[in-house]
Every structure is written in structure tokens, then in C-alpha cells.
Amino acid sequence: MSSSLRREDVAKVAQLARLSLSDDELDKFTEQLGQVLEHANDMGTLNLENVVATAHPFGLINVVRDDVVRPSLDRSEVLAMAPDARDGRFAVPRIMGEAP
């Protein structure tokens, strides 16, 4: 595993995460994230080929709920949270493309 994190990697990641960074921030983050990844390289030396990945600490399965309607929130309360609302809906600036 390589830890040579490049500036353009950080720029791409920032774009994916919807964050904009100044040139200075880009430099600083490249260095700081590089350090963390460097530290993570100690894992790269392990042979974990036959180890199963654990995404979750406990082995619960089939946790479900009954298909029974519960009260929804009051619309006025919901829309009161919104930065902008019109006609009972949340308003946003124009959407540039359809969902992927």
C-alpha cells in the first residue's frame, strides 16, 4: 500500500465530499492526511488474505419491524426547519442534472 498521497488525490476527494479547499488548505491537508495514511501502513505489512472483514461488532441478524403505520411529523414543523420552503415543499436552487 502506498501512502504517497498526491495533491490531486486530495482535490478529487474534496470534490467527491462537496468541500472546496483553498490552495493553502490543499497543501496542509495533503500533508496531514498523508501522515495518517503513513501510520496506517503498519496494517499493510500484515498478511490478512484469509481474514474475514468485520463491518459490525455483533452478529445480530434479521432485525425487522412490523408493517404498521406510525404517526408522521407535522408538516409545518418539518418545513419550519427548512432553509427555504414553498408550496409545502423544500425549495432548493436549480438542479443541474438528473440523479445518477
Partner 1 sequence: MTLPNGWEIVVGLEVHTELKTATKMFCGCANRFGAEPNTNVCPVCLGLPGSLPVLNVRAVDLAMAIGMALHCTIAPSTFHRKNYFYPDMPKDFQISQYDLPINKGGYLDLPDASRVSIERAHLEEDTGKSTHLGGSGRIHGADRSLVDYNRSGVPLVEIVSGPDIRSSSQARAYASELRGILIATGASDGRMEEGSMRIDANVSVRQADAEFGTRCEIKNLNSLRSLQRAIDYEAMRQVELIEAGGTVRQETRHWDEILGATSTMRIKEEADDYRYFREPDLVDLAPDQAWQDRIRSQLGPMPAQRRRELTARLTSATQAQLDAVEVVIDLGLDRLVNYAADGGADVSLALSRAANELAGGIEGVDRLTPEAFCATVLMEQRGELSSTQAKTVLGELLASGGDPHAIAGTMGFEQLSSDSLGETVDELIERHPDEWTRYREGDEKLAQFFIGQVMKATKGRANGKAVIAELQARR
Partner 2 sequence: MKSAFQIVDEVRRGATTAAAELATCLDAVRARNEELNVFLYVDEEGAAAAASRVDGILASGGDGGALAGVPIAIKDNMCQRGIPTTCSSKILEGWRPPYNATVLDRLLAAGAVPVGKTNLDEFAMGSSTENSAFGPTRNPLDPSRVPGGSSGGSAAAVAAGMTPLALGSDTGGSIRQPAALCGLVGVKPTYGLVSRYGLIAFASSLDQIGPFAKTVRDAAMLLEVIAGHDPMDSTSLPEQSPSLVAHVGDGVAGKRVGVVRELIEGADQDVVDAVDRATRVLADAGATLVELSIPELRLGLSAYYLIAPAEASSNLARYDGVRFGLRVNAEDVSAMNEATRTAGFGAEVKRRIMLGTYALSAGYYDAYYGQALKVRTQMIDAFRRAYREVDLLIGATAPSVAFEFGSKTSNPMSMYLSDVFTIPTNLAGEAALSVPFGTGEAGLPVGVQLLGPGRSEGLLLAGARVLEIADGRP
Q: Which residues contact partner 2 by CB under 8 A?
A: 1, 5, 9-10, 13-14, 16-21, 29, 32-33, 35-37, 39-44, 46, 48, 51-58, 60, 63, 65, 73, 77-78, 81-84, 90, 92-96
Among residue numbers 19 through 78, which ones bind partner 1 (CB under 8 A)?
Answer: 55-56, 59-73, 75, 78
All cell numbers assigned to 91: 425549495
What three-state secondary structure class fits 44? helix
Q: Which does 69 bind (CB under 5 to 8 A by kind): partner 2, partner 1, none?
A: partner 1
- Classify burial at 10, counting beta carbons within 10 Å of its beta carbon; exposed 0-12, middle 13-18, buried 19 or more: buried
> What does R_g of the chain's alpha carbons equal in angstroms?
22
Q: Which does 35 bind (CB under 5 to 8 A by kind): partner 1, partner 2, none?
A: partner 2
Q: Are 10 and 22 in contact (CB under 8 A)?
A: no
Please report the sign of the dihedral spanned by the C-alpha atoms of residue 86, residue 91, residue 96, residue 100.
negative
CB of 65 to partner 2, least distance (A): 6
Point out which residues bind partner 1 (CB under 8 A). Answer: 15-16, 18, 55-56, 59-73, 75, 78-79, 86-95, 97-100
